[in-house]
Amino acid sequence: MMRWFGQLLPPFRRTRSSHSGGGSTAGTRRGLRRGDELTGSLSRRVADNLSLIRELFGDSVDLISRGLGGSAGQPWLGIVYLEPLVDADLVNRCVLMPLVDKVKENGPVEGIGQLHDLLPIGRLAELDQIGDLMTHLLSGYTIILLEGAAAFAVSTIGGEKRSVDEPTSQTVTRGPKESFTESLLTNMTLLRRRLKSPDLRVEGFTIGRRTRTFVNMVYMEGIAAPGPVKEIRRRLGRIDVDSILDSGYIEEFIQEERWTPFPTIQNTERPDAASAGLLEGQIAVVVDGSPFVLLAPSTFVKFFQSSEDYYQRYDISSFLRMIRYICFFVSILLPSLYIAVTTFHQEMLPTPLLISLASQREGVPFPALVEALLMELTFEVLREAGVRMPRVVGPAISIVGALVLGQAAVQAGLVSAAMIIVVSFTAIANFVIPSVNMAAGARLIRFVLMLVGGTLGLFGIMCGLMVMVVHLVSLKSFGIPYMTPLAPLVWNNLKDVWIRVPWPLMKTRPTLPRTEAAGGQGDVRRQAEGSEADSHANSASREPETNSNSER
């Protein structure tokens, strides 16, 4: 009695949550250290527990609670669930029906043993803490309260969710067209289906005091280096925040460097890309409620690899990959180069080009730098407007924006035609970069380089690039230098950077450079020896260059 009273008083005390009771088939999910945790144990009386739960929820309409058996005020059995979160059919068929039948047979259900045999549901957990009960209830479990015993939670997770659809942002022409959804379970399904290996380890976290979002950390044991695994585990465990509504939140919490325009963590909507990353030693962070899965650690070159590269032939893939790198530089440098060359280094232009540009500039009121900034900002506005536009109006506005605005501006003599071409080409080149966050970084750098290029010409651009390169070279993503394999130079890994060598030649996985943080290598052989089809396959798979203490 007193215990129960104590539970009513401060319902939100910060203590450690305990793990749910043993003997369950489910793995344990690490909850929060601090936060809104309820303390106290459950009483052994069904009626008490029922009223406690109802009170905690403030008698919400969607909390369904029923008592079975016994008398009206003293049931033997209590069933509680939250209607929006459960699969009603499952609850009725697999929980209520067997229990109702049992109660009809006139007898309280004695202990766990019988319950285990009664309910045809896989996941079943025994609880005796209020906190655990709430967690499970809020996750879509049905709570079964037994008189004289504690409580049980059975998994009846259901409710509406989006079906597996095509990815919206990272589309390919050839390759799988499935995309992650907001449901953690579906996402895990998609991953497990592709990586049918027992080495695929999944560790669970619950992050967010109010949202209690389930976050899974997935990696391939034996391939992923232990250092980053440990580090990500540590950082995920350290997050203490109210809400996690998207993987973007997690990304900002676990990323290493805050003051950089370059992303150090990839995100992907595609299960095949995530699986490929897992097979290369990356660690995936799957967040419930977000279709974007994080992949870490990520190096610079990974942001330029698209899944399509591996599904198409190597020659076209190599060509397109080189175009991507060129487009990256174009999207950073083109406006600033244009400004620098036309205002500081006019001698570099061929004479006809110079004359054409000069005649276009007659009558234009702004200096080149101002003109460029103006046009770039206008384009960013147009781009943002295009994102917000309702779909029906969208195409019309984009045509209006691009053609009419640009053309009219030129004819009014406000900007020169060459500037329009430069700005549009820069923007188009920006879209070629496969990963949106890298493209976003490029957009920001472009402005900085424009400013320095406009003040100090090519010298300024060179200084700016120098700063950028020094910065890139000293960035680390979970202990791995960001510019691997370019700097430090790892010859073996260069086979997948500029070009993509044909599959039979990709015998080893990209090895990590020799850093202490990496803590040794996993298995580096990508192919078994028998899988090579060509005749000169006598050489066994190459030894990795660096130490390979595969920790198994």
Partner 1 sequence: MNRRMSRTLLPLALMVIVLTGCWDRTELNELSITSATAVDRKGDRWVVSYQVLIPSVVSGASGPMKGGAQLPITVYTTEGPTIREAIYQSTLESPRTLFFSHNRVLIVGEELAKGGLSELIDVYLRNSDSRETVTVLIAKGEGRKILEQLLQIQIIPGDGIRETMKTESENYSALPYVNMYSLAKALTSESNSAVIPEIFISGGAPVTSEEQFNSTTMSSKLKLGKLAILRDGRLVGWLKVRDALGVNFIRNQVKKTVISLGCGQQNEATEGPGHSSSMFAVKLLHSATTIKPVLQGGDEPLRMLVKVKAEGTLLETDCKADLDRQDTIKEMERQLEEEIRSVIRNGFGETQKLQTDIVGFADMIHRRYPKRWREMKKAWSQAYAEIKLETQVDFTLRRLGLTSKSFTKLDEESRGGEE
Partner 2 sequence: MSQSITKLQGTAIVLMAISPTAMLVVPKNVMNVVEQDAWMSLVLSIAVAAVAAWGLGSFASQAIGGVPYQRWLRGKAGRWVATLGGGLLAAYYYSIASVALHEFISFVSAEVLEYTPKTVLKGVVVLVLMFMAAQGIEATARICVLAMLAMAPLMLLAFVLLLGEMDWHQLLPIADHSWHSVALGGIVPFGWFSESAIILLIAPYMIRQKDAVGSAVNGVLISGSMLLFTVLQSLLVFGPRLVRSMDYAPFELFALIEVGNFFERVEVLFIVFWMATVFLKLGLFFQGAVHLLETTLRMPFRRMPLLAGIGLLLWLDSSTSWPRDMNETLTTSVTTALLFGCNLLLPLLLAALCRLHGRVERSGGDGANE
Q: Are 132 and 94 in contact (CB under 8 A)?
A: no
515 binds, among partner 2, partner 1, none (CB under 5 to 8 A by kind): partner 2
361 binds, among partner 2, partner 1, none (CB under 5 to 8 A by kind): partner 1
Q: Which residue has the tokens 């976003």?
A: 440
Q: What are phi and psi of 106, to 5 degrees?
A: 65, 75
Q: Are 202 and 214 in contact (CB under 8 A)?
A: no
462 binds, among partner 2, partner 1, none (CB under 5 to 8 A by kind): partner 2
Site residues (CB under 8 A) for partner 1, limited to 455-494: 455-457, 460, 467, 471, 474
Q: How far is the CB of 400 from partner 1 (least distance, A)?
A: 22
Give me the helices (H) in 195-313, please.
226-238, 247-254, 271-279, 308-311
- Cα 127 to Cα 22: distance, rounded to the nearest angstrom: 9
368 binds, among partner 1, partner 2, none (CB under 5 to 8 A by kind): partner 1
Q: How far is the CB of 320 from partner 2 (least distance, A)?
A: 23
- Cα 217 to Cα 197: distance, rounded to the nearest angstrom: 16
The site map against partner 1 for 240-259 (x = CB under 8 A) is -----------------xxx
Q: How far is the CB of 460 from partner 2 (least distance, A)?
A: 8
Q: How does 179-192 read in b/e, with b if 16+ C-beta sit within 10 Å?
A: bbbebbebbbebbe
State CA 375 to chain mean position distance. 33
Amino acid in the structure at residue 57: F
Segment (H or E) for 203: strand 200-207
451 binds, among partner 2, partner 1, none (CB under 5 to 8 A by kind): partner 1
- Cα 58 to Cα 11: distance, rounded to the nearest angstrom: 13
| Count of residues interacting with partner 1 (CB under 8 A) | 39
Q: Are 22 and 59 in contact (CB under 8 A)?
A: no
357 binds, among partner 1, partner 2, none (CB under 5 to 8 A by kind): partner 1
Site residues (CB under 8 A) for partner 1, limited to 399-418: 410-411, 413, 417
489 binds, among partner 2, partner 1, none (CB under 5 to 8 A by kind): partner 2
Nearer to partner 2, 410 or 465 (CB): 465
Residue 81 DSSP class:
E
Residue ranges binding partner 2 (CB under 8 A):
344-345, 347-348, 350-351, 353, 456-463, 465-467, 469-471, 473-474, 481, 483, 486-489, 514-516
Q: How far is the CB of 489 from partner 2 (least distance, A)?
A: 6
Q: Which residue has the tokens 């540590």?
A: 234
> Which residue from 92, 93, 94, 41 is spatially nearest to 66, judged by alpha carbons?
92
User: Interface residues with partner 1 (CB under 8 A)?
Assistant: 257-259, 342-344, 346-347, 351-352, 354-364, 367-369, 410-411, 413, 417, 448, 451-452, 454-457, 460, 467, 471, 474
